[in-house]
Amino acid sequence: MKIRQQLALRVTVVSALITGGILIFIFLLTRGFVHTDFVERLTQQSRLEVLHYATPQTKDVLPAGSFLLVNPETSIYSDLGILLHQQGSYVIPGSWIAFMKKKDVFNAQRGEYTTVGRKYTINGNGYIVFVSDKDLPGQHELDILIKTILLGWMLSLVLSYLAGLYFSGNALQPVKHVVREVNQITKDNLGFRLNLKDDISKPDEIDELILTFNALLARIEAAFIAQKRFVQHASHELKTPLTSIMAEAELAMSRDRSVSEYKRTLDVIAQETDRLVMITQGLLTLARLEEGNMQIETERVPVADLVRSVAETFNRRYTSRGLTSSFSELTASVNGFSDLLQIAVLNLLDNAVKYSDRDVVLHVQEEIRNVIFTIQDFGIGIPAEELSRITSPLFRASNAKDVIGAGLGLSLVDRIVKIHNGELRIRSKVGEGTRCEFILPLAD
3-state secondary structure the chain: CCHHHHHHHHHHHHHHHHHHHHHHHHHHHHHHHHHHHHHHHHHHHHHHHHHHHHCCCHHHHCCCCCCCCCCCEEEEEECCCCEEEEECCCCCCHHHHHHHHHCCEEEEEECCEEEEEEEEEECCEEEEEEEEEECHHHHHHHHHHHHHHHHHHHHHHHHHHHHHHHHHHHHCHHHHHHHHHHCCCCCCCCCCCCCCCCCCCCCCHHHHHHHHHHHHHHHHHHHHHHHHHHHHHHHHHHHHHHHHHHHHHHHHHCCCCCHHHHHHHHHHHHHHHHHHHHHHHHHHHHHHHHHCCCCCCCEEEEHHHHHHHHHHHHHHHCCCCCEEEEECCCCCEEEECHHHHHHHHHHHHHHHHHCCCCCEEEEEEECCCEEEEEEECCCCCCCHHHHHHCCCCCCCCHHHCCCCCCCCHHHHHHHHHHHCCCEEEEEEECCCEEEEEEEEEECC
| Largest CA-CA distance found in the chain, in angstroms, rounded | 159
Q: Which domain holds residue 141?
A: 3-166
Cα(209)–Cα(190) distance, integer angstroms: 18
147 pLDDT higher than 70: yes
Main-chain dihedrals φ then ψ at residue 304, nearest 5 degrees: -60, -45
* Dihedral sign for Cα atoms in the order 383, 385, 390, 396: negative
C-alpha to C-alpha distances, 386 to 334, 395, 402, 428, 430, nearest whole angstrom: 31, 10, 17, 10, 11
Q: Return the CA Rg of the chain.
A: 52
Mean confidence (pLDDT) of the chain? 83
Are 138 and 201 found together in one domain?
A: no
Cα(141)–Cα(208) distance, integer angstroms: 55
44 pLDDT higher than 70: yes
Q: Which of these, 418, 387, 394, lies nearest to 408 by C-alpha position?
A: 394
423-442 tens-digit pLDDT: 999 998 888 889 999 999 99
Cα(107)–Cα(96) distance, integer angstroms: 10
333-372 tens-digit pLDDT: 999 888 889 888 888 888 888 888 788 888 898 888 899 9
Would 176 be classed as within a structural domain? Answer: no
State the virtual CA torsion across 415, 417, 422, 427 in degrees, nearest 10.
Answer: -90
Are 195 and 109 found together in one domain?
A: no
Total Cβ atoms within 10 A of residue 348: 27
Are 9 and 96 found together in one domain?
A: yes
Q: Kindly report the CATH number assigned to the domain that includes residue 117.
A: 3.30.450
Are 124 and 45 found together in one domain?
A: yes
pLDDT of residue 233: 60
82-111 tens-digit pLDDT: 999 999 899 999 999 999 999 999 999 998
Are 28 and 148 found together in one domain?
A: yes
Cα(112)–Cα(166) distance, integer angstroms: 48
pLDDT of residue 294: 47
pLDDT of residue 92: 93
Are 9 and 141 found together in one domain?
A: yes
Give the domain-ending residue among 194, 229, 264. 229
Burial of 288 (0-12, 13-18, 19+ CB in 10 A): middle
268-297 tens-digit pLDDT: 888 778 767 766 765 666 566 566 544 557
Would 261 be classed as within a structural domain? Answer: no
Q: Which of these, 417, 243, 237, 258, lies nearest to 341 by C-alpha position?
A: 417
Q: Distance from first CA to last CA of the chain, Å, rounded?
A: 63
Cα(378)–Cα(355) distance, integer angstroms: 8
231 pLDDT higher than 60: yes
Q: What percent of the chain has pLDDT over 90?
A: 28
pTM above 0.75, yes or no: no
Q: Kindly report the CATH number assigned to the domain that includes residue 346.
A: 3.30.565.10
Would 30 be classed as within a structural domain? Answer: yes
49 pLDDT higher than 60: yes
The answer to whether 171 and 4 are in contact (CB under 8 A) is: no
pLDDT of residue 38: 93
**Averaged pLDDT for residues 30-37:** 94
Are 308 and 439 found together in one domain?
A: yes
In the chain, how many domains are there?
A: 3
Cα(307)–Cα(219) distance, integer angstroms: 36
Are 89 and 207 found together in one domain?
A: no
Are 198 and 135 found together in one domain?
A: no
The answer to whether 126 and 54 are in contact (CB under 8 A) is: no
Region of residue 75 (left: phi > 0; alpha: psi -120 to 50; beta: else)? beta
Are 351 and 444 found together in one domain?
A: yes
365-411 tens-digit pLDDT: 888 889 999 999 888 888 888 888 887 765 677 777 767 655 667 87
227 pLDDT higher than 50: yes
Cα(18)–Cα(151) distance, integer angstroms: 16
The answer to whether 419 and 425 are in contact (CB under 8 A) is: no
Are 224 and 83 found together in one domain?
A: no
Are 162 and 15 found together in one domain?
A: yes
